[in-house]
Amino acid sequence: MQKSLAKHFPLFVAPTLIAFLISFLIPFVMGVYLSFTEFTTVVDAKWVGIDNYVKAFTANTDFINALWFTVKFAVVSVVSINFFAFITAVILTRGIRGTNFFRTVFFMPNLIGGIVLGYIWQIIINGYLYKYQVTLTYDAKYGFWGLVILMNWQLIGYMMVIYIAGIQNIPNDLIDAAKVDGAGPLQIIRHIIIPSVMPAITICLFLTLTNSFRLFDQNLALTNGAPARKTAMLALDIYNTFYGRNNWEGVGQAKAVIFFVLVATIAYLQLKLTRSKEVEG
């Protein structure tokens, strides 16, 4: 068995490996290469060194602004999404009536595409702001909170499901024992539930963090950066740089590389940090 597996090893690995090469590795390497060049189409590029990286920061403040906006957004939405998701998960594991119905309903927003969601929320928020004779584009803070609400609405259900799975894995006798010892509901959450669902927290933090950083469709559909790119996040800024101006494709590419490094670093640090808090099973 061992031997025949070794013999057919290429056969099993090849399809995935080829797909991985074509759709991930090659574009990635090309992308990094292109960030050092000036190009109109990806097949003819001229080497310009680190010019693009310098331009990304010095030519205008768009990238820095987008970075700040994204960081602020990520902090607010990571905290709020996980908070609400955890609360709903705790409530929906208490066996109240209609639990399954609520779980399904909360999960559903996650199944709708980002662009559609963006436009739907644009209509809802504008409909509300119309009462005050303004729109989403009036002030960057409307766009900011609009995005936070949208993101919460979309991701809470998903994270909730992960937390529910975590909570359901906690042995009942552990909680019963805590109750017998006289622990109140808050104490149970703090000392029993949270430490036990640490793996779920790791995953949820990772997903919300990377999702917030990479947010694109919702941003494009909801505000498209208005007013004056004050609500443009990193991904949107990269897109605008790449397609918005002549001969700036390389700069867009350079921004994308910086973006990758940034997201990868933050995600790695976060994983390391929360992993260390997980209780060994």
Partner 1 sequence: MKKILAFVLIATLAFSMAACATSSGTMEIYFLNFKPEIAEVYDKIAADYEKETGVKVRVVTAASGTYETTLKSEIAKKDAPTIFQINGPVGFQEWKDYCADLKNTKLYSYLSDKSLAITEGDGVYGIPYVVEGYGIIYNNAIMEKYFALSDKAVNISSAEEIRNFETLKAVVEDMTAKKDVLGIEGVFASTSLNQGEQWRWQTHLANLPFYYEFKENKNYCNTVLAGLAANEIEFKYANNFKNIFDLYIENSCTPKNLLGSKSVNDSMAEFALGKVAMVQNGNWAWSQIAGTEGNVVKAEDIKFLPIYIGMPGEENQGLCIGTENYFAINSKVSKEKQEASIAFLEWLFSSEKGKSYVKNELGFIAPFNTFEENEKPTDPLAKEVLAWMEKDGVTSVAWTFAAFPSEEFKNYFGDALLEYTQDSKTWDDVVNVVKDSWKSEKAK
Residues that bind partner 1 (CB under 8 A): 40-44, 59-60, 122, 126, 130, 133-139, 223-229, 243-249
Q: Which is nearer to partner 1, 97 or 131 (CB)?
A: 131
Q: Which is nearer to partner 1, 20 or 243 (CB)?
A: 243
CB of 130 to partner 1, least distance (A): 7
Measure CA 100 to chain center.
Answer: 26
Roughly how many angstroms between the first and final C-alpha of the chain, as a whole number? 32
DSSP code per residue over 105-164: HHHGGGGS-HHHHHHHHHHHHHHHHGGGT--GGG-HHHHHHHHHHHHHHHHHHHHHHHHH
CB of 40 to partner 1, least distance (A): 6
CB of 160 to partner 1, least distance (A): 32
Q: Which is nearer to partner 1, 148 or 226 (CB)?
A: 226
Q: Which is nearer to partner 1, 101 or 132 (CB)?
A: 132
CB of 221 to partner 1, least distance (A): 11
CB of 263 to partner 1, least distance (A): 24
CB of 2 to partner 1, least distance (A): 20
CA distance 53 to 175: 55
Residues paired with 45 in a beta bridge:
39
Q: Tell me the angle at which helices 234-244 and 62-91 cross, rounded to the nearest 10 degrees.
A: 140
Q: Which is nearer to partner 1, 38 or 278 (CB)?
A: 38
CB of 122 to partner 1, least distance (A): 8
CA distance 237 to 64: 10
Q: Which is nearer to partner 1, 209 or 233 (CB)?
A: 233
Per the CB < 8 A criterion, the answer to whether 188 and 174 are in contact is no
74 CB neighbour count, 10 Å cutoff? 23
Best CA proximity match to 72, nearest among 213, 208, 236:
213
Per the CB < 8 A criterion, the answer to whether 197 and 167 are in contact is yes
